[in-house]
Amino acid sequence: MRHPTDGTLRRLLDEPAGVADTDREHIAACPVCQCELAAAQQDAAFADAALGGVPTIDVDAEMAWSRLSDAIAVDEPRRATTVAPVRRWRTALRRPAVAGLGVAVLVAGAGVAAAMDWLPIFRTEQITPVTAPEADLVTLPDLSDFGELEVSEEVDIRPVSGVDAAEEATGLAVPMVSELPRGVTGDPTYHVGEEANALFTFSAEKTEQTAAAAGETLPPAPPELDGSRFRLTAGPGVAAVWSEGRPVPALIVARAVAPTAYSSGVPFETARDYLLSLPIVPENVASQLRGFSGDGTTLPLFMAAEELTSSATEVDGMPATVFTSRDGALAGVVWVDDGVVTAVAGSVSADEVLSVAHGLRWDR
């Protein structure tokens, strides 16, 4: 007979009763399996030693309970104040940028959420460029092609009077630029956006319609995916914009709380693997997304290969992505620190945006 799997050998160490008699008999008589079993035992003992050593038997549940009760009491009013729908930017949020971003966050966030209610499954901690021909990026489906996208708190970008108002509105520190690139003059104007929230409900029927419209037949969706819900949030954000005397801003320094996704219970890999398996997602894009680490912390930054080139660098010790337009008219650098995306971009050179990024000051 064939050797039992390494998983069966592993289980034999913990739960021998869970292993079939035939497998147990084989393993007892098979030198190859005995050898594998010994290796599994050593690795298991090693892991046990590595993960142990923190005594938690005498935790004070009483004190912890009163701490939790206090936290709930404080948190409730704060949560209640965030429900304030604004209609203006509905269209902007629906298509295509934010909805497309929603797909990106969902397929990139591979953390498993085997829970019945919202569990964070994606938290932006780094950004990685995904480069593809523009034609492929344009055909990337957006979330409303796969189900119902309901925007509960929409993007509402508005100008504010100055840096203090911007910080007050967003709770984000606004950095000061030490030295402006040559040709960029004057004072910036400040713009802020509140946190945006959207709820996405997957629909097998809608996905089928989308595929049919694209002339494709899809593999059947995993049954638990139909009707499963994902919550997406991003923001608030703030931008300082230097546009004096120009139709296009000369320089923008922007910060925003990076997108986060929550799952209502479907194992997250189920959604990601299914979406990436669909023939309507261009294969070169899907393969780059599949290559992302499985921990749900990498936000893809889609770039049209004909227009932009990108390279990796560091800002403040954080990995950063520099992008430059092929005609040299535009450059930017973007990085994530502690869940906040910061971007410096403008109609300047890559060296100039990097010099601005390195020179940002956080004190005033």
| Cβ-based neighbours of 249, under 8 Å, separated by 6 or more | 241, 242, 243, 346, 347
**Closer residue to another protein (CB): 302 or 335:** 335
Q: Which residue's CB is nearer to another protein, number 25 or number 216?
A: 25
Min CB(120)–another protein separation in Å: 7
At its nearest, how many Å lie between another protein and the CB of residue 317? Answer: 8
3-state secondary structure of 32: helix
3-class DSSP state for residue 57?
A: coil
Give me the least distance between CB of 308 and another protein, in Å please: 28
3-state secondary structure of 100: helix
What is the rounded CA–CA span in Å between residue 8 and residue 18?
A: 9
Those residues whose C-beta lies under 8 Å from the C-beta of residue 139, and which sit 6 or more positions away, are 280, 282
CB of 182 to another protein, least distance (A): 34
Q: Where would I find the H helices in 244-327?
A: 268-277, 283-290
| Min separation Cβ 34 and another protein, Å | 16
Six-digit token string for 221: 């969706």
Residue 125: phi and psi, rounded to 5, are -125, -15
CB of 311 to another protein, least distance (A): 24
Of 117 and 244, CB closest to another protein: 117
Q: Between the CA of residue 101 and those of 148, 239, 259, 271, 300, what are the distances in Å?
A: 15, 19, 9, 15, 8
Say if residues 102 and 268 touch (Cβ distance below 8 Å): no
11 versus 206: smaller Cβ distance to another protein: 11
Q: How far is the CB of 76 from another protein (least distance, A)?
A: 5
**Which residues contribute to the site for another protein (CB under 8 A)?**
5-11, 14-15, 18, 40, 43-44, 46-48, 50-57, 59, 61, 64-65, 67-68, 71-72, 75-77, 79-80, 110-120, 123, 125, 267, 269, 293-297, 338-339
Give the 3-state DSSP-derived string for 175-219, with helices as H, strands as E and coil as C.
CEECCCCCCCCCCCEEEEECCEEEEEEECHHHHHHHHHHCCCCCC
Which C-beta is closer to another protein: that of 63 or that of 248? 63
Compare residues 134 and 269 and give the one whose CB is closer to another protein: 269
Do 155 and 329 form a contact (C-beta atoms < 8 A)?
no
Q: Closer to another protein at the Cβ: 11 or 95? A: 11
Cβ nearer to another protein, comparing 119 with 176: 119
CB of 349 to another protein, least distance (A): 30
DSSP state of 5: P
